[in-house]
Amino acid sequence: MTSASAQFVASADGTRIGYQTCGSGPGLVLVQGAMGTAGNFRELAQALSGSFSVHVPDRRGRGLSPRPYSAGYVIQRDIEDLDALLAATGAHLVFGLSSGGVITLQAALTLPGIEKLAVYEPAIFVDGLPARALARFDRQMARGRLAGAMVTAMKASQMGPPALRRVPGWLLTSGVRLLMNQEAKNGPGDYPPMRELALALPYDFAVVRSMNDHTRSFAGIHQPVLLLGGSKSPAYLKAGLSELAQLIPGARRVELPGLDHASSWNHDRKRNPGGDPGQVAQQLRDFFAG
């Protein structure tokens, strides 16, 4: 998949959502999480392309779907984006990762076009996000301190290797700022620059915030649901999956040994050595084709 093969659909508020398609068969949409674009799902889409027409959008605010974040954003906008894509492609199957998993679950409550859905570790904090971290993130974004905001987001969501999370925030921030400056000078390579992805983080935090005291509504999901997670992922993500397994009638939960939160992304020796999209694809293939 390349940007040259991109297609576009207009969402309800006029936002232009770009997406790429590969394969043939029943339509399957992959909904990305934070700090990712369609490019991070390249290997997963290819692994599924023998069984499905795989449609991989860039969520609003990143990649092929630029739109600056504004305080008026609500999760319904992302649901409208997904609805427009389902209508344009005729797809009825949806997979969502992290904040994209939250969007997928919420969409299943209101979009009749979704017939089956799978989610990989939806970003659900059973006890809510730490208030102090949220306030710090908001201040950093408001002041344009993107490197610091990325570090705050990483620590609050417990992403990255445990050893790295123990590094003092000021030191991590200096390292991220250096990487961002290097990207500005030399180019980001195969992925969008960190600056662009950091500017989209408020969308993801707004999605997560929208789940406060709201997850019980997922008991109203009537479609078949597959709940995926990795054995090496943070405990709060496992707790969120446990809650969903109890709430959603008939939901099936599968924990994949040795995998972590980013395992559905491309395997990349430097950026994502834990990537194992082949294992995730096998689970999705069995579920959606069954």
Q: What is the CATH number of the domain that holds 85?
A: 3.40.50.1820
Which domain covers residue 103, as residue numbers? 3-126+208-289
Residue 65 per-residue DSSP state? B
Q: Are residues 168 and 227 in the same domain?
A: no
Say how many domains are in the chain.
2
Question: Which of the listed residues 207, 237, 259 is the one where a domain comes to its end?
Answer: 207
Residue pair 20/2 in contact (Cβ under 8 Å)? The answer is yes
Q: Which residues pair with 65 in a beta bridge?
A: 62
pLDDT tens digits along 235-250: 999 999 999 999 999 9
Q: Are residues 198 and 214 in the same domain?
A: no
- % of the chain at pLDDT higher than 70: 97
Residue pair 14/66 in contact (Cβ under 8 Å)? The answer is no
Q: Are residues 7 and 92 in the same domain?
A: yes
Find the range with the poorest average confidence among 57-71, 74-88, 202-216, 220-234.
202-216
Residue 169 has pLDDT above 70, yes or no: yes
Report pTM.
0.95
* φ, ψ of residue 198 in degrees (nearest 5): -65, -40
Q: Are residues 159 and 252 in the same domain?
A: no
Residue pair 81/58 in contact (Cβ under 8 Å)? The answer is no
Q: Are residues 59 and 164 in the same domain?
A: no
